[in-house]
């Protein structure tokens, strides 16, 4: 059984094509999960809506707790890390991460950044060896292959690899950097563009992205080795 972690970072609660002013990135994540479950209904999905319920910002109490050895933490420190522990557990348990992330100001929305900050955790998802001057940070989630699917939406166009404005898109590269740090190595990217242009340009991009999602689901299901329940 394969375990999916479905995250949405858009503040828009609905889905494009179903709800007025709905989110395009939510449309892609919903389509991905729907297609996956149609073929593999026994697989499990954990859903977390970062747009509706953003993770907490890191504060001094969190930092003090995270950098205190486990055996020395007080009850208050464990409580300060409780939300982070839940988010980390979801990532550790997942085989496929489905990340719905709209492009805001050439990067991702703040709730997604707070999620990243909560899951990059010393002793849980990364290790640190000060004696290793070249590579002091090591991943802890490289115990098995995990797939990360980045499903994005963009107001403009030409922001994908090879596009005229690709150098201004800091979303996918930043996500890959953070997740590679903790040990996730396999990435897949699909995006809708032309939201600001609208019309047939947007509709054509939506159609193409939905087809790419279906193709990706089929491909991943042929390579994904189910893990024991």
Count other C-beta atoms under 10 Å from residue 108's C-beta.
Answer: 24
Cβ contact 191:153 at 8 Å: yes
* Alpha-carbon span 192 to 189, nearest angstrom: 10
Domain presence at residue 228: no
To the question of whether residue 10 is assigned a binding role by annotation, the answer is yes
User: What's the pLDDT at 96?
Assistant: 98
155 is in an annotated binding site: yes
How confident is the model at residue 185, as a pLDDT?
94
Cα 88-213-18 angle, rounded to 5 deg: 90
Question: What pLDDT sits at residue 19?
Answer: 84
Rounded distance, CA 52 to CA 92, Å? 23
24 is in an annotated binding site: yes
Paired strand residues for 139: 126
Residue 156 labeled ligand binder: yes
Entry pTM: 0.93
Distance in angstroms (rounded) separating the CA atoms of residues 91 and 88: 5
Task: Tell me the CATH number at 133.
Answer: 3.40.50.360
Res 229: pLDDT: 45
Residue 137 lies in a domain: yes
Tokens of 159: 């922001």
176/150 Cα distance (integer angstroms): 9
Q: How far apart (Å, rounded) are the C-alpha atoms in residues 77 and 20?
A: 43
Identify the residue whose tokens are 């002793």. 123
Q: What is the dihedral of CA 50, 56, 57, 63, to 10 degrees?
A: -130
Continuous H helices in 67-150: 75-80, 82-93, 110-119
Assigned domain for 53 exists: yes
Q: What does the alpha-carbon distance between residue 115 and residue 46 come to, in Å, rounded to a whole number?
A: 15
How confident is the prediction along the chain (229 residues), in pLDDT tens digits per residue? 999 999 999 999 989 888 888 899 999 999 999 999 999 999 999 999 999 999 999 999 999 999 999 999 999 999 999 999 999 999 999 999 999 999 999 999 999 999 999 999 999 999 988 888 888 899 999 999 999 999 999 999 988 988 988 899 999 999 999 999 999 999 999 999 998 888 899 999 999 999 999 999 999 999 765 554 4
Q: At what angle do helices 171-182 and 110-119 cross, to 10 degrees?
A: 10
153 is in an annotated binding site: yes
Task: Please count the structural domains in the chain.
Answer: 1
Residue 161 is part of which domain span?
3-223
Residue 229 lies in a domain: no
């Amino acid at each position: 059984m394969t375990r999916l972690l479905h995250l949405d970072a858009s503040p828009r609660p609905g889905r494009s094509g179903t709800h007025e002013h709905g989110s395009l990135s939510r449309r892609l994540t919903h389509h991905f999960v729907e297609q996956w479950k149609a073929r593999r209904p026994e697989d499990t999905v954990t859903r977390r809506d970062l747009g509706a319920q953003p993770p907490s910002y890191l504060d001094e109490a969190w930092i003090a707790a995270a950098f205190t050895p486990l055996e020395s933490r007080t009850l208050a420190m464990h409580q300060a890390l409780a939300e982070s522990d839940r988010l980390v557990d979801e990532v550790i348990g997942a085989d496929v991460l489905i990340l719905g992330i709209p492009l805001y100001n050439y990067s991702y929305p703040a709730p997604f950044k707070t999620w990243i900050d909560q899951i990059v955790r010393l002793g849980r998802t990364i290790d640190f060896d000060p004696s290793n001057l070249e590579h002091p940070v090591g991943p802890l989630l490289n115990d098995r292959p995990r797939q990360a699917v980045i499903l994005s939406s963009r107001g403009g166009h030409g922001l994908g690899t090879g596009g005229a404005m690709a150098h201004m898109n800091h979303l996918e590269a930043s996500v890959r950097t953070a997740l590679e740090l903790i040990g996730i190595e396999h990435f897949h990217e699909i995006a809708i563009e032309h939201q600001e242009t609208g019309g047939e340009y947007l509709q054509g991009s939506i159609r193409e992205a939905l087809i790419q999602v279906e193709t990706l689901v089929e491909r991943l299901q042929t390579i994904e080795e189910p893990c024991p329940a």
